């Protein structure tokens, strides 16, 4: 079948049939597109979090050096020891500042309710069901508690809705372009006469203040 025949066949379809074909194509490719986009965002988040963890480890090691320098300074208050202590304290200040800058990639814990408002109070589809799991620490607490790491929380959200084809599609785009750090992990679309029923699993990472 040549291109002209394909175009003619498509043009002869009703609007509903065209929309259905469009949705089938989008849903078929969504998993691939979503994997690429999500992996890209997730990889960036992972990179930032790894950077933060490395900075945290450096702060811990620098803190040990400071303790050592303080002990030495106490016994031998030489200028070079005081200078070393001051340098180490400045280093910690710089590392803490870097952590703050990197943390800007995530939403503030105080604004997580706005992410939920964005999901629910939309002009496109009525959300039939929303399940929010309890936020959990993003990092495992291994031994000594670290205030910097305990600030990061991982929140899972599951939503179900049912609407017309175009509204469902627009809402998916609406979620993908959200300003609240919501990442789509999984999307299930079941077509029906009215349009379709959709289930979406999302997550967001928030960072609290010290």
**Integer distance in angstroms from the first to the last C-alpha of the chain?**
65
Phi, psi of 130 (to 5 degrees): -135, 125
The pLDDT value given to residue 36: 42
Reading the block at residue 122, the tokens are 């939309």
The 3 state secondary structure assigned to 115-183 is: HHHHHHCCCCCCEEEEEECCCEECCCCCCCCCHHHHCEEEEEEEEEEEECHHHHHHHHHHHHCCCCCCE
- Mean pLDDT, to the nearest integer, of 142-154? 66
- Does the pLDDT value for residue 195 go beyond 80? yes
pLDDT at residue 8 in the model: 52
Average pLDDT, whole number, for the chain?
71
Considering the entire predicted model, what is its pTM? 0.56
pLDDT above 90 (res 71): no
Q: What is the pLDDT of residue 138?
A: 74
Domain segments of the chain as ranges: 3-49+105-207
**Average pLDDT, stretch 150-167?**
89
Give per-residue pLDDT as tens, 3-47: 554 455 545 555 555 555 565 555 555 444 444 444 444 555 566
CATH topology for 3-49+105-207?
A: Alpha-Beta Plaits (3.30.70)
């Amino acid at each position: 079948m040549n291109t002209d025949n394909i175009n003619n066949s498509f043009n002869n379809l009703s609007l509903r049939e065209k929309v259905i074909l469009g949705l089938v194509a989008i849903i078929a490719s969504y998993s691939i597109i979503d994997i690429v986009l999500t992996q890209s965002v997730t990889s960036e988040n992972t990179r930032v979090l790894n950077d933060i963890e490395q900075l945290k480890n450096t702060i811990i090691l620098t803190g040990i050096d400071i303790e050592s320098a303080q002990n030495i300074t106490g016994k031998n208050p030489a200028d070079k020891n005081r200078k070393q202590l001051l340098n180490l304290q400045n280093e910690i200040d710089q590392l803490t500042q870097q952590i703050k800058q990197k943390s800007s990639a995530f939403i503030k814990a105080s604004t997580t309710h706005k992410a939920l408002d964005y999901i629910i109070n939309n002009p496109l589809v009525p959300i039939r069901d929303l399940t929010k799991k309890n936020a959990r620490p993003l990092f495992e607490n291994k031994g000594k508690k670290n205030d910097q790491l305990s600030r990061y929380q991982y929140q899972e959200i599951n939503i179900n809705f049912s609407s017309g084809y175009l509204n469902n599609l627009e809402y998916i785009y609406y979620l993908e372009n959200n300003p609240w750090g919501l990442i789509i992990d999984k999307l299930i679309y079941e077509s029906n006469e009215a349009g379709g029923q959709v289930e979406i699993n999302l997550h967001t990472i928030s960072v609290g203040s010290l």
